[in-house]
């Protein structure tokens, strides 16, 4: 991809993230560049466009620079889950939750991955974990468990 194309994607990603009211990722620790922030935003924009392989690449790029960023692991897991790469997605969610055990979105996504894999008991465990954290996400996971289907999103 040319530098101009990358700049356009990053600009569009930032505009989409801002328009969607998305919070930026946590501030970079000393010594890291703002480039990871832009790549994280680009990944979120690609996710909005359902460009799962491109989103995966963006989040992997962020993680090369920030391997301790739980939100990037969670988003990587989501991109993998949407490509039906469930085992890889579960590993990414587990890494996110190792780093930040209260990251509700990762718990919900992990539960959905278990639903997609036919692992209802594991999904139920994630639901029990999620309920005290976030009622709205718990409701979404409960629906996925009850229907046996995850959202196309």
Q: Examine the pLDDT at 9 and tell me if it is beyond 60.
A: no
> Residues 57, 123, 137, CA angle at the centre, nearest 5°?
70
Q: pLDDT tens-digit profile of 39-91?
A: 999 999 999 999 999 999 999 999 999 999 999 999 999 999 999 999 999 99
What is the reported pLDDT for 34? 73
**Domains in the chain: ranges and CATH:** 1-18+34-67 (no CATH), 70-153 (1.25.40.10)
For residue 29, what is the DSSP state? P
CA distance 93 to 81: 10
Q: The whole model's pTM is what?
A: 0.77
Contact 89, 78 (CB under 8 A): yes
């Amino acid at each position: 991809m040319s530098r101009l194309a990358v700049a356009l994607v990053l600009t569009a990603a930032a505009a989409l993230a801002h328009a969607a009211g998305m919070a930026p990722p946590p501030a970079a620790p000393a010594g890291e560049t703002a480039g990871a922030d832009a790549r994280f935003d680009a990944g979120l924009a690609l996710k909005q466009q359902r460009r799962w392989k491109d989103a995966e690449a963006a989040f992997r790029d962020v993680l090369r620079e920030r391997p301790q960023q739980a939100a990037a692991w969670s988003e990587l897991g989501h991109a993998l889950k949407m490509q039906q790469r469930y085992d890889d997605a579960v590993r990414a969610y587990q890494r996110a939750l190792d780093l930040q055990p209260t990251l509700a979105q990762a718990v919900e996504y992990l539960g959905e991955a278990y639903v997609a894999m036919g692992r209802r008991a594991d999904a139920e465990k994630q639901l029990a974990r999620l309920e005290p954290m976030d009622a709205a996400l718990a409701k979404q996971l409960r629906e996925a468990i009850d229907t046996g289907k995850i959202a196309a999103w």
